[in-house]
Amino acid sequence: MQNQQGYHVAVVGATGAVGQKMLETLEKKAFPLASLTLLSSSRSAGKKIAFKGEELTVKEATPESFEGVQIALFSAGGSVSKSLAREAVNRGAVVIDNTSAFRMDEEVPLVVPEVNEEDLSSHKGIIANPNCSTIQMVAALQPIKKSHGITRVIVSTYQAVSGAGTSAAEELREQSKAFLNGEELEAEIMPVKGDKKHFPIAFNALPQIDTFEENGYTFEEMKMINETKKIMHAPNLPVAATCVRLPFFTSHAESVYIEVEKEGLQAADIHEVLRNADGITLEDDPSEQEYPTPLSAAGKSDVFVGRVRKDPDHPKGFHLWVVSDNLLKGAAWNSVQIAESLIKNNLL
SS3 category, 277: coil
Q: Is 15 known as a binding-site position?
A: yes
Q: Is 11 known as a binding-site position?
A: no
Q: Is 326 known as a binding-site position?
A: yes
Residue 272 vs residues 122, 249, 283: alpha-carbon distances, Å: 32, 32, 12
Q: Is 90 known as a binding-site position?
A: no
Q: Is 307 known as a binding-site position?
A: no
CA-CA-CA-CA torsion sign (319, 320, 326, 330): negative
Q: Is 103 known as a binding-site position?
A: yes
Spatial CB neighbours of 88, under 8 Å, sequence gap ≥ 6:
10, 63, 66, 69, 72, 95
Q: Is 176 known as a binding-site position?
A: no
Nearest 5 degrees, angle CA 341-CA 345-CA 348? Answer: 80
What CA–CA distance (Å, rounded) separates 182 from 109? 50
What's the distance, Cα to Cα, between the start and end of the chain in Å? 7
Q: Is 43 known as a binding-site position?
A: yes
Element (H, E) at 323: strand 317-324
Q: Is 111 known as a binding-site position?
A: no
Q: Is 245 known as a binding-site position?
A: yes
Q: Is 252 part of the annotated catalytic residue set? A: yes
What CA–CA distance (Å, rounded) separates 22 from 279? 18
Q: Is 99 known as a binding-site position?
A: no
Among the listed residues 123, 132, 148, 243, the single catalytic one is 132
Among the listed residues 252, 271, 314, 319, the single catalytic one is 252
Q: Directed axis angle between helix 132-148 and helix 267-275, to 10°?
A: 110
What CA–CA distance (Å, rounded) separates 202 from 80? 31
Q: Which strand ranges, in their side-by-side order, compose the sheet holding 317-324?
A: 239-245, 150-159, 252-260, 317-324, 303-310, 280-282
- The binding site for NADP(+) consists of 15-18, 43-44, 162-163, 326
Catalytic residues: 132, 252
- The binding site for substrate consists of 159, 245
- The binding site consists of 15-18, 43-44, 103, 159, 162-163, 245, 326
- The binding site for phosphate consists of 103
